[in-house]
């Protein structure tokens, strides 16, 4: 497995819990208690490299609990390159008003790393979301993230950040764009859309590139988001 795949997993794993597929930037909202969701996606880049991700979540006691993993296939072989567990709480849910704020905390594991490959790389993200418009069905949403992550094998801390906007253009189609990254490194840029096939089931397609990067940094991402009603209803 090439180091490129491991580096991508290390950067993207702290943001696997997404602001509604396919954004990496977190939003200030959570599932209702006893509701669950499943998100899965494939990232396909040049050089015959594919990343497959699977991330189920359920909410209880005001916290959205999520776990997931990333499996990378390259040059005919595949391996699990990242795992994570986390909790997310919205102190103020953007779905309930004009703005929201929350916190996300979790642990990651990178099984293919040569050193410190077990559980223990922690991260913390604070998402702030703003509703741009009065009508909740048609308004744009702006999401801002700041956070930190610990890279144990390198003995250093990362500053995580993200900025994203999503805007419904029809009853089913939402356009999305974002920039995200760590420290002062060149950011990743994403653009694309999300489409609702039926109630609580969305599919998405986006293109991701890196500012000032090479073609090897570019990839397509396709996935889905499926959500259930609260079980207690």
Domain 3-227 adopts which CATH fold? Porin (2.40.160)
- Digit-coded pLDDT (tens) for 83-140: 999 999 999 999 999 999 999 999 999 988 888 777 889 999 999 999 998 888 899 9
Higher pLDDT, 188 or 48: 188
Q: What is the pLDDT of residue 212?
A: 82
Q: What is the pLDDT of residue 15?
A: 45
Using the predicted structure, report yes or no on whether residue 206 has a pLDDT greater than 80. Answer: yes
Using the predicted structure, report yes or no on whether residue 153 has a pLDDT greater than 90. Answer: no
The bridge status of strand 173-182 relative to strand 188-198 is antiparallel
Higher pLDDT, 6 or 167: 167
The bridge status of strand 219-227 relative to strand 173-182 is unpaired
Q: What percent of the chain has pLDDT over 70?
A: 90
H or E segment and range at residue 174: strand 173-182
Which residues have CB under 8 Å from 199's CB, separation 6+?
none
DSSP, res 34: T
Indicate the domain borders of the chain: 3-227
**pTM as predicted:** 0.89
Torsion sign over Cα 139, 135, 143, 87: negative
| Phi, psi (degrees; rounded to nearest 5) at 210 | -120, 130
Task: Find the mean pLDDT for residues 212-230.
Answer: 89
Q: What is the pLDDT of residue 213?
A: 74
């Amino acid at each position: 497995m090439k180091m490129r795949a491991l580096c991508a997993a290390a950067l993207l794993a702290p943001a696997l819990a997404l602001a509604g597929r396919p954004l990496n930037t977190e939003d200030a909202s959570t599932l209702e208690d006893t509701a669950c969701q499943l998100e899965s996606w494939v990232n396909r880049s040049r050089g015959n490299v594919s990343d497959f991700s699977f991330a189920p979540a359920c909410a209880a006691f005001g916290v959205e609990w999520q776990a997931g993993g990333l499996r990378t296939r390259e040059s005919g072989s595949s391996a699990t390159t990242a795992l994570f567990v986390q909790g997310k709480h919205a102190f103020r849910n953007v779905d309930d008003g004009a703005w929201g704020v929350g916190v996300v905390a979790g642990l990651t594991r990178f099984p293919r790393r040569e050193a410190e490959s077990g559980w223990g790389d922690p991260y913390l993200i604070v998402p702030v979301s703003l509703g741009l418009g009065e009508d909740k069905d048609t308004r744009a949403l702006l999401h801002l993230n700041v956070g930190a992550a610990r890279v144990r094998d390198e003995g250093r801390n990362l500053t995580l950040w993200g900025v994203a906007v999503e805007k419904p253009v029809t009853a089913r189609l939402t356009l999305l764009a974002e920039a995200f990254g760590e420290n002062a490194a060149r950011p990743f840029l994403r653009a694309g859309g999300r489409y609702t096939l039926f109630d609580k089931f969305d599919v998405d397609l986006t293109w991701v590139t890196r500012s000032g990067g090479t073609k090897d940094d570019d990839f397509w991402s396709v996935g889905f988001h499926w959500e259930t009603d609260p079980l207690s209803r």
